[in-house]
Each structure stands twice: as C-alpha cells, then as structure tokens.
Amino acid sequence: MLRAALIGFPSSGKSTLFQLMTSVKDAPRGKGDVAIGISRVPDSRLDTLTAMYNPRKRVPATVEFTDLIAPARSGAQGLVDVAGYKNADALVHVVRAFRDEAVPHPSGSVNPARDAQAMEDELLLADLGVAERRLERLEKDLKKGKTPDLEKERDIVHRCKEALEQGTPLRALQLAGDDLKRLRGFQFLSAKPLLLVINLDEADVADVGSDAASAAAKAGLTAFGAHAATRTVALCTKIELEIAQLEGSDQQAFLADLGLSESGLDRVIRGAYDLLGYMSFFTVGEDECRAWSIARGTPAQLAAGEIHTDIQRGFIRAEVVSYDSLTTRGSMAASREHGEVRLEGKEYVVQDGDIINFRFAT
C-alpha cells in the first residue's frame, strides 16, 4: 500500500483535506495527535471488471494518509520521530492559496511560494540534525576499527550533510542502488518525493479549474514545482466539502458546472501515484475483483508478494492477460482462444492493467 503523509502550516486546510480524503470525521484534534486514514484509489478499469464478473467483493487499491496535528511553529522537527511520517513513501504539502479574513494566516499574509519554501527549509533542518548525529556516531565507531561498510555510509551521509547545508533537499540527489539502501533506515524527510497540493481560493477555481500548471503559476510555485521528484495538484477544499455532501449524480453535475472532470480528491491520489511511479494490476473472479498497487518495473514474483508472501515464495508462473484484451474479448476463455493469455516467469515485469492469476506451490 502506498503511504503518504500530509504536512502543512496551521490554517492551510491540511486537516480538512485529510478528513475529506479518508472520511475520518472523529480523528484526534489535539496538539501532537496523529490521525491515520485510508483512501480508495479511483480506477474505472476495476468498475468494468466488477461489472464483468459480478463478484462478491470489489476491492480497490488504497492509499494510507497520515495527519499530525502539530503545535504552532514546531515545523518538521515534530515529524522526525513520528512513525507515520518516517515510513511514508511521499509527503503531501498542503499550501494555502485561499483568502479568508475569518481564518487569518499565521504569518499575516497569504503567500504560497513563501510557505512552500519555509516548509522545505524545515525539512532540511530536520534532516541536517539527523545527518549530524549519525556522522558523530560513525566517527566514534570508525575510531574503534575501520570497515568498508561504515566508511561508505560515512561518505554518503557526509554528502547528504553537504547538500542540506547548501539548501538542497535530498530528493534532488536522486540516490539509487547501494547509496539509497544505506540511507533507507534514516528516513530523511527531504528525500521523500513531494506532492504540493495548492489549496485554491473559491474565486480562483473558475480561472484555473484543475489545471495544476495554471494554479502553480498563479501561486508563484512554477519553479518550486519543477524541482526533482516534485509535483503539483490544485483544488479548493471549501468546494470539495460542498461536493462531498452531495449524492453521486449531484456530485458529477456540480463538477461539470465547474468544468472539472473529477474531484480534487481523486486528483490528489492520482498525483501521488504519478509522483511515485505506481500502477495497478488486477486479480479477478467470482469471489473478488481487486486492484493491487505496485511500483512500475516490479517483476512478477515480487508482485505476487503483494497478495501473500506464500505466493511469492512458491511462485511457479504468472498467467497474464492485458486489461484491453480481456475486456475486448469479454471473458478469459475467449482471450485464451485468441492466444492472448500468456504464461510468464518470475522476472516478467508487470504492466499497468495486467490481469494476473499466479500459479504457486505451498
């Protein structure tokens, strides 16, 4: 499951977005409280497959969201030791762009670019403290006896420290391979991909709609949103609240009136998927139709592990058909007759929309 953590300064609309996305209405509201909720990933392909098989259960892919009610001015320092933030796959920064005299901005004025950079600085400072403490420990351990692993870890942590001191988030280093593995245990906040959610003013929705690029330009966030491993999504939580209170058909009519093809909540989830390079494969049958989230480039045997570790360990073959083939033919039997169902090995790279039946031995 993809895990995302919401961050944002007070009065940004962060906790409102959390409640909208997860339908958690009784989340803790005290300072320092952590709320965790689940949001379903919208996918019309799962709807089509469900209509084909009429299963007992329909299970969409999900995203876990974490929201910390932080004391004012505590910034990212308060996130360092919170498991939901350390273990998050991505950070979702809700940036205030709306104007409301009844909800004054803590800094006295609405300035999205300033707030985005201020939060980035908080992340950098939090990570710098982690890096400095780790380097101190490494130097002590190295005095007891040098080992290649410790020396390599010291080198990469020192490289991170230099980047942080220069104001460069660690996500910009685009670390990979062994370097990335060595840092994984530290869970640096600025190393996590960042999704900027621009919380628009109601009056601005008519101008920019769901166009993230236009919203970013209006908010002065174009350059910031172009940084490595960073994406932007635009929505108005005030309007989203109104939409959430309507019935399904009325919701679609409201969205159409605003010139929007889907809700802002769906766009946030899609933005997180795109940011992290996630995709979905499906398992289907009369009992259940389910979507599973995996990173692009995942081989079949590891994808099997998303369902159950026993399937991964006992993997024999993956019976695979593409979504387009199955829905065009109308059944698995018809797809087989046309030679469109394949047997793939453990190294097969799963594709977005694959329908898979894993063969395994226990």
**DSSP states along 129-167:** HHHHHHHHHHHHHHHH---HHHHHHHHHHHHHHHHHHTT
Q: Which amino acid is at 103?
A: V
Fold agreement between 124-190 and 297-360: no
Strand partners, 68: 34
Q: Please name the residue ranges forming H helices in the chain.
A: 14-22, 44-53, 83-86, 112-144, 148-165, 177-184, 202-208, 212-219, 222-225, 237-244, 248-257, 264-276, 300-307, 309-313, 323-329, 332-337
Chain centre distance of CA 27 = 20
Going from N- to C-terminal start, the domains of the chain cover 2-43+61-106+192-276, 124-190, 297-360
With vertex at residue 30, the alpha carbon angle to CA 28 and CA 31, rounded to the nearest 5 degrees, is 125
Q: What number of CA atoms fall less than 13 Å from residue 296's CA on the CB side?
A: 8
Helix axes 264-276, 14-22, angle to 10 degrees: 90
Distances (CA, A) of 209 to 199, 223, 255: 12, 20, 10
For residue 125, count CB atoms less than 10 angstroms from its CB and return exposed for 0-12, middle for 13-18, buried for 19 or more: middle
- At residue 295, the 3 state secondary structure works out as strand
Which tokens hold the place of 242?
């109104």
CA separation for the pair 245, 70 (Å, rounded): 28
Pairing of strands 278-283, 288-295: antiparallel
* Separation of alpha carbons 151 and 162, rounded Å: 16
Are 277 and 53 within 8 A, CB to CB?
Answer: no
Taking the model in full, what pTM does it have? 0.88
CATH superfamily of 124-190: Obg-related GTPase Ych/YyaF, coiled-coil domain (1.10.150.300)
Residue 122, token pair as written in the block: 């908080």
Q: CATH second-level architecture of 2-43+61-106+192-276? A: 3-Layer(aba) Sandwich (3.40)
CATH superfamily of 297-360: Beta-grasp domain (3.10.20.30)
Q: Which sign, positive or negative, has the C-alpha torsion 245, 248, 249, 253? A: positive
Tokens of 260: 């929007």
Per-residue pLDDT of the chain (362 residues; tens, 9 = 90+): 889 999 999 899 998 999 888 887 665 555 667 889 999 998 999 999 999 999 999 999 999 999 987 654 455 655 656 667 888 999 999 999 999 988 989 889 999 999 999 999 999 999 999 999 999 999 988 888 778 888 999 999 999 999 999 999 999 998 888 888 888 888 899 999 999 999 999 888 877 777 889 999 999 999 999 999 999 999 999 998 888 888 878 888 888 888 888 888 889 998 888 898 899 999 999 999 999 999 999 999 999 999 999 999 999 999 999 999 999 999 999 999 999 999 999 999 999 999 999 999 98
Report whether 23 contacts 109 (CB < 8 A).
Answer: no
> Using the 8-state DSSP alphabet, how is residue 89 labeled?
S
Length of the chain, please? 362
| Cα dihedral 253, 256, 260, 263 in deg (nearest 10) | 10
Q: Tell me the β-bridge partners of 219.
A: none
What tokens appear for 320 in the block? 């695979």
d(CA 17, CA 20): 5
